[in-house]
Amino acid sequence: MQDQFQRQINYLRISVTDRCNLRCLYCMPEDGVELISREEVLRWEEILKIVQSCVKAGIRKVRLTGGEPLIRLGLTAFVRQLGEIPEIDDIALTTNGILLPQYAKELKAAGLKRVNISLDTLRPERFARITRGGSLAKVWAGVEAAVSAGLEPLKFNCVVMRGTNDDELPDFARLTLTRTFHVRFIELMPIGSSDKWAGGSRVTIPEIKEKLAELGPLLPREQVTGGGPAKYYTLPEAKGTIGFISAMSEHFCAACNRLRMTSEGKLRPCLHSKQEVDLRTPLRAGAGVDDLAAIVAQAVARKPKQHSMVDDGWADNERVMSQIGG
Ligand code: SAM
Ligand code: SF4
C-alpha cells in the first residue's frame, strides 16, 4: 500500500483496550476517563477480520497496544490466530510490563516475537508517582520474564520529562552496557493528559544527547529489528543500544509506515490527527474482508503528509493516548 506521498504503509498498531492498570501522568487523567462501553469495543473475532482485511491491503506487521493490552482476557489466543496469518511477518506488543510475569511465556509460545516495555524511571517511589500507584518491582519482574521467555530484542520506551526523570538518563543508558536492552528516549508529546503542559516539560533529543555526554561517544549504528522511527546509537563496548524518538523537534512523518486502530474499530491514518475512519459500522453491517480492505485503502489515501502538533495545547484531538495506543 503506497500513500499519496510515496510512503509504503505496512504496519498496523491495534489498541485492544482503552483500559489500563496504571495512570501515567502524561497519558491518562487520574480519574474521570470516559471509557468505551463493552458493546462498542470490538470482539476478538471482529479485530481478526479487520486484520485480515488490512493484510489484504498490504499490512505485514502488527503491534498490540492499549490502554494496557495484557489486561484484556484472550490476548494469547488472539496472538495465536494472528500467527496463523502467513503474510504477517512480525507480531509485537507494547506494554507497561506489570502482567508479563503471568503472560510472557504463553505469549511467546503463541507466536509473539517481541515486547516494548514502557519505563520512565528506575526509582520505585518515582515510578509510583509517575504511574500514580504502580510498582517498579513488578515491571522488573516482567522484564526478566520477557527475557527468559525469549521475547527479544527487548526495548524500553522512556518518555523524558523535565524535572521529573531527566536526571536519570545516564542511569537508563548504563543499562545497555551490561544487557542487550534497547533503551529508547521519547520526546513528550502534547497529547492525552499532557496536552496543556507537554511543551514546558519536554526535553528535546539534542538536550537528551547532551545529558548522556558523560558516558562517552554515542556511536551511530544500524537499525534494530522493527526499529521504526527511532535513531539508534551505542556506547563503546555496550551490549545494547540507545534510541531516540523525536516526534516534535525533528518529526519523522516522511518515513511513517503505520496505521492505527482504536479498540472500537476506528482507523487512524495519523496518530496526531483526529481524522478517523469507522470500520466497526460496516463490519457489523456485514461487510466482508474485501469490502473492509477497500475502506482501509481509502483511509491510507487520506493519510496526512505530517502531523500538526504544536506546544500550547493541541486542539486537533479528542482522545487521550490510552485510547489510541501510542
Ligand atoms: N500501556 C502500554 C504502555 O504503556 O506501554 C501501551 C499503551 S501506551 C499509550 C503506549 C506508549 O505511549 C507508551 O510507551 C507511553 O509512554 C507512550 N505515551 C503515552 N502518552 C504519551 C505522550 N504524551 N507523549 C509521548 N509518549 C506517550
Ligand atoms: Fe497505561 Fe500505558 Fe498510558 Fe501508562 S502509558 S497510563 S501504562 S496506557
Task: Cell 523524558: give the residue.
Answer: 160
Question: In angstroms, what is the span from residue 288 Cα to ligand 2's centroid?
Answer: 33
Integer Cα distance of 208 and 103 in angstroms: 33
- What mean pLDDT is predicted for residues 251-273? 84
Strands 266-268 and 277-278: antiparallel
Ligand 1 atom at shortest distance from the alpha carbon of 22: 1
pLDDT more than 90, % of the chain: 71
User: For 112-154, what is each residue's pLDDT tens digit?
Assistant: 999 999 999 999 999 999 999 999 999 999 999 999 999 999 9
Closest ligand 1 atom number to CA of residue 26: 23
- CA–centroid distance, residue 144 to ligand 1 (Å): 21
Hey, what's the cell of 94?
A: 507494547
Q: Is 17 in the pocket of ligand 1 (CB under 6 A)?
A: no
Laid out side by side, the sheet with 266-268 consists of: 219-220, 231-234, 241-245, 181-187, 154-160, 114-118, 90-95, 61-65, 11-15, 258-261, 266-268, 277-278
**In this structure, which ligand is nearest to the CA of 21?**
2
Residue 33 three-state SS: coil
Q: What are the extents of the domains in the chain?
A: 11-324
Distances (CA, A) of 65 to 185, 238, 282, 306, 324: 18, 29, 23, 22, 9
Q: Cell 519523522 maps to which residue?
A: 252
Q: 314 CB under 6 A from ligand 1?
A: no
Q: Using a cut of 0.85, tell me whether the model's pTM lies above it.
A: yes
Angle, CA of 236, 186 and 34, to the nearest 5°:
155
Q: Residues of 142-175 as b/e, b for ≥16 C-beta within 10 angstroms?
A: bbebbbebebbbbbbbbbbbeebbeebbeebbbb
Q: What is the mean pLDDT of residues 75-80?
A: 98
80: pLDDT strictly greater than 90: yes
Q: Assign domain 11-324 to its CATH architecture.
A: Alpha-Beta Barrel (3.20)
66 CA → ligand 2 middle, Å: 8
Mean local confidence (pLDDT), 240-263: 84
Q: SS3 of 316, please?
A: coil
Question: Which residues does 301 contact at the CB level (< 8 Å), separation at least 6?
Answer: 3, 4
Q: What is the pLDDT of residue 313?
A: 47
Q: Is the dihedral angle over the CA atoms 244, 248, 253, 257 positive or is it negative?
A: positive
CA 118 to ligand 2 center in whole angstroms? 8
Q: Ligand 1: distance of its center to the CA of 321 in Å?
A: 7
CA atoms within 13 A of residue 94's CA, in its CB half-sphere = 24
pLDDT tens string 147-181: 999 999 999 999 999 999 999 999 999 999 999 99
pLDDT at 316 over 60: no
Residue 314 confidence (pLDDT) above 50: no
Pocket residues for ligand 2 (CB within 6 Å)?
20, 22-24, 27-28, 66-68, 96, 118, 321-322
pLDDT at res. 318: 62
Contacts of 95 (CB under 8 A, 6+ apart): 65, 68, 69, 70, 115, 116, 117, 118, 142
Q: Is 224 or 139 the better-scoring residue by pLDDT?
A: 139
Q: Please give the pLDDT value at position 227.
A: 53
pLDDT, one tens digit per residue, over 20-35 is 999 999 998 888 888 8
Reported as a pLDDT band with limits 50, 70 and 90, residue 241 is very high
Residue 94 CB less than 6 A away from ligand 1: yes
| pLDDT tops 90 at residue 1 | no
Atom number, ligand 1, closest to the C-alpha of residue 190: 23
Tell me, using a 6 A CB cutoff, whether residue 193 lines ligand 1.
Answer: no
Residue 52: predicted pLDDT: 98
